[in-house]
């Protein structure tokens, strides 16, 4: 399974006109192995370090830009901090816990239609949208929760 994935990645890189380098393969592989994850450059660096991969931050940033331009990953600017990247999937929006940073993905057809409706009302051709809802995940496992709420 891992090999099949690897070959697929190599094809994807080639199709995107990118040379198949070790760092590009490794980084793309992480995104594909964890399709629900959203990685900042730092988080990706930690993940690579854990796998014993010594790839510097400058390279990571460069590869992220290349993979994004090749439309293999998506860049999200959730806050003032680092951009968070994820593997390119079908359209979805995000809920983000401001306490622990947990990210939940969702799609709501009513919401999608409503945005079309609003746009057409203003004679506006909607091309894309970004919807990010911030709040408290309310999970008992939330790392940002304080004891006083117990």
The residues of the shown chain that bind Zn ion, judged by CB under 5 A, are 86, 97, 99-100, 102, 105, 137, 142
Number of Cβ within 10 Å of residue 17's Cβ equals 9
State the nearest-atom distance from the C-beta of 14 to Zn ion, in Å: 26
State the nearest-atom distance from the C-beta of 108 to Zn ion, in Å: 14
State the nearest-atom distance from the C-beta of 42 to Zn ion, in Å: 18
Q: Hey, CA dihedral for 87, 48, 4, 13, is it positive or negative? A: positive
State the nearest-atom distance from the C-beta of 94 to Zn ion, in Å: 6
Number of Cβ within 10 Å of residue 38's Cβ equals 20
Spatial separation of the C-alpha atoms in residues 74 and 65, rounded to whole Å: 10
Q: Closest CB to Zn ion among 8 and 139?
A: 139
Q: Closest CB to Zn ion among 63 and 73?
A: 73
Q: Do residues 23 and 63 make contact, with C-beta atoms less than 8 angstroms apart?
A: yes
Spatial separation of the C-alpha atoms in residues 5 and 2, rounded to whole Å: 5
The size of the chain, in residues, is 150
Q: Closest CB to Zn ion among 67 and 137?
A: 137
Q: Closest CB to Zn ion among 14 and 143?
A: 143
């Amino acid at each position: 399974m891992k090999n099949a994935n690897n070959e697929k990645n190599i094809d994807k890189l080639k199709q995107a006109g990118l040379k198949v380098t070790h760092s590009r393969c490794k980084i793309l592989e992480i995104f594909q192995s964890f399709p629900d994850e959203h990685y900042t450059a730092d988080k990706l660096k930690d993940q690579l370090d854990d796998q014993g991969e010594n790839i510097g931050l400058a390279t990571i940033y460069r590869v992220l830009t290349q993979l994004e331009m090749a439309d293999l990953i998506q860049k999200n600017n959730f806050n003032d901090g680092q951009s968070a990247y994820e593997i390119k999937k079908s359209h979805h929006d995000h809920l983000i816990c401001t306490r622990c940073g947990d990210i939940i993905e969702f799609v709501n057809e009513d919401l999608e239609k409503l945005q079309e409706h609003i746009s057409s009302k203003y004679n506006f051709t909607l091309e894309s949208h970004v919807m990010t809802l911030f709040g408290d995940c309310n999970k008992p496992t939330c790392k940002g929760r304080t004891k006083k709420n117990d």
